[in-house]
Amino acid sequence: MSEFYVVDVFSSARYRGNPVMIVVADEDLAMGQMQAFAAWNGMPETVYLRPNIPAATDDRSGYAARIFSPRAELVFAGHPSLGAAHLAVETGMVQRPSFMACDDGFGDGPGEAATVWQQCAVGEVELKVLRLSAGDVKAFVKTPAPGAVVPVTSDEARAVAAAIGLADAADSYRVSAGANWIVVKLDEPASLAMLKPNMPAIEALSVTLGVSGITVYAPAVDDADVRFDVRSFGPAIGVPEDAVCGGGNACVATLQHHLQGLRVDARHLTYQTRQGRFVGRDGRVHIRGPVEDHRFWIGGTTRTMMTGKVNL
């Protein structure tokens, strides 16, 4: 029997974020076993952790993770990585987590932070787990590769617009930030609510373009703390509309930096996005950066909601 945990990510309100299933396996599992459970359990992603993995260097705390969507193994994903880091620290899986006063750019209010390192298919990923004085826990992940933005062709832009129910082509880009998404920027906030995603068309387009799906964002107008509203459609990975997508938000941050030409100074780019209200959730994604190599810190509140055992 293996232990499992469900961690809610990106919302300070209970049951309003994006859950991730995390399994601490008591034995080596075949890929087919891991994929079958990820497809069965109903979560947008499932992470398989191995505790007490030797750290990459003597002064680093680390663990190993494999991340699966209902359809396939993912080389990297944002919200599963945040849930994994939260759980690794909470249960003592990582070696020598050293907490110290956290930078003002992370979290809301005073607290302490520990850096941990996740080994996954994309390589070594840096994360921070924050214990805030108010009692909340937040986790942040640094996108594992420099961001890249490539405009899609005019034909692809028309196909993207048709797939999400836009009458006219909108600014669309292929964006890589550890995860890979087509990102569409809308100028009118109301347009986001009016989308009519055609899931088979989005899936076919995602496969053709080699991305997880289509993320769409627009300015937020009714919350002073939120800069953008976001929606992410990933039927190709088995998540028709993601409640709160860390990788999609990382791609939004990368695109915004590309479009506005902002200076590489994290102090000038700390903001929140909102996602999930179209599927009954209320997520807040904290974005900080760009930092070195045009990468970003993506984070939010994390909370363990469920524990148990599973026979895999």
Q: Read off the CATH number of the domain in which 103 is found.
A: 3.10.310.10
Shared domain for 172 and 139, answered yes or no, is: no
Question: Do 118 and 168 sit in the same domain of this protein?
Answer: no
Higher pLDDT, 289 or 69: 69
**86 and 43, same domain (yes or no):** yes
Question: DSSP assignment, residue 199?
Answer: H
Backbone angles phi, psi at 124, to 5 degrees: -90, 130
State percent of the chain over pLDDT 90: 76
- Residue 267 confidence (pLDDT): 46
DSSP conformational letter for 70: S
Paired strand residues for 270: 288
Residue 123 sits in the same domain as residue 161: no
120 with 240, same domain: the answer is no
Q: Say what the pLDDT of residue 104 is.
A: 59
Identify whether residues 304 and 287 lie together within a single domain: no
**Higher pLDDT, residue 55 or 260:** 260
Residues 243, 156 within the same domain: yes
**Are 122 and 152 within one domain?**
no
SS3 state of residue 175: strand
Question: How large is the angle between the packed helices 246-260 and 78-90, nearest 10 degrees?
Answer: 120
State the total domains in the chain.
2
Q: Which pLDDT score, from 0 to 100, does residue 95 have?
A: 66
Distance CA 245, CA 263 (A): 25
How much is the mean pLDDT over the chain?
Answer: 91
Shared-domain flag, residues 172 and 306: no
- Cα–Cα nearest to 5, from 115, 90, 127: 90
> 45 and 107: one domain?
yes
**Least confident stretch, 54-58, 119-123, 256-260:** 54-58
Handedness of CA 235, 306, 65, 101 (dihedral sign): positive
Range of the domain at 244: 148-291
Looking at the fold, whether 122 and 165 belong to one and the same domain comes out as no
| CA distance between the termini of the chain | 7
Q: What is the pTM of this model?
A: 0.93
117 and 25, same structural domain?
A: yes
